[in-house]
């Protein structure tokens, strides 16, 4: 049995060695297929690179036109900002409106005060006039004289 066991081990080792040899023989073929695929990929990449390079040669002109369009748009936006700034009220305009409204209110209040002052003056003059008339002496059956100078009026009473 010992002999058979040893022989089976040798047979297994030989079959393993045969597999490895087959793998080694197939390795150059696998390497060749990998090299062929890499060469194809390299050709494709070279074609892509050449087309990109050709496109990039055109790109500076295209980029220049895009930059010009962007500069024009920028100028339009700047003009719009300036126009918006002109449309928005300035601080001085806001202050001027506020001062004018306060001034108008003050003028209305001043006019009301003047009216009330005039009314008070009228009332006080009326009160003073009535008070003065209370002190008047009324003379009955005395002829009234024409107004004139003080001496003439006084002479009439004497």
Tens of pLDDT, residue by residue over 122-140, are: 999 999 888 888 877 777 7
* Domain contains 148: no
Q: Please report the pLDDT score of residue 119 as a whole number.
A: 93
Burial code of 103-124, b = ≥16 C-beta within 10 A, e = fewer? eeeeeeeeeeeeeeeeeeeeee
**156 Cβ contact partners less than 8 Å away, ≥ 6 residues apart:** 145
Give the residue numbers spanning the domain of 74: 1-88
Give residue 59's pLDDT band: very low, low, confident or very high (50, 70, 90): low
* Domain contains 44: yes
Q: Summarize pLDDT for 67-88 with one digit per residue, the tens.
A: 777 788 877 787 777 776 666 6
Domain total in the chain: 1
* Domain contains 134: no
* Domain contains 8: yes
């Amino acid at each position: 049995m010992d002999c058979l066991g040893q022989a089976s081990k040798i047979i297994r080792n030989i079959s393993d060695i045969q597999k490895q040899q087959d793998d080694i023989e197939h390795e150059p073929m696998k390497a060749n297929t990998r090299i062929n695929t890499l060469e194809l990929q390299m050709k494709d990449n070279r074609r892509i690179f050449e087309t990109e390079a050709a496109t990039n040669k055109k790109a500076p002109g295209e980029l220049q036109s895009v930059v010009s369009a962007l500069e024009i748009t920028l100028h339009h936006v700047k003009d719009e900002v300036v126009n918006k700034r002109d449309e928005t009220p300035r601080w001085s305009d806001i202050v001027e409106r506020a001062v004018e409204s306060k001034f108008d209110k003050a003028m209305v209040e001043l006019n009301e005060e003047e009216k009330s002052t005039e009314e008070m003056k009228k009332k006080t003059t009326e009160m003073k006039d009535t008070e003065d008339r209370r002190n008047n002496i009324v003379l009955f059956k005395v002829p009234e004289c024409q107004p004139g100078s003080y001496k003439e009026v006084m002479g009439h009473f004497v």
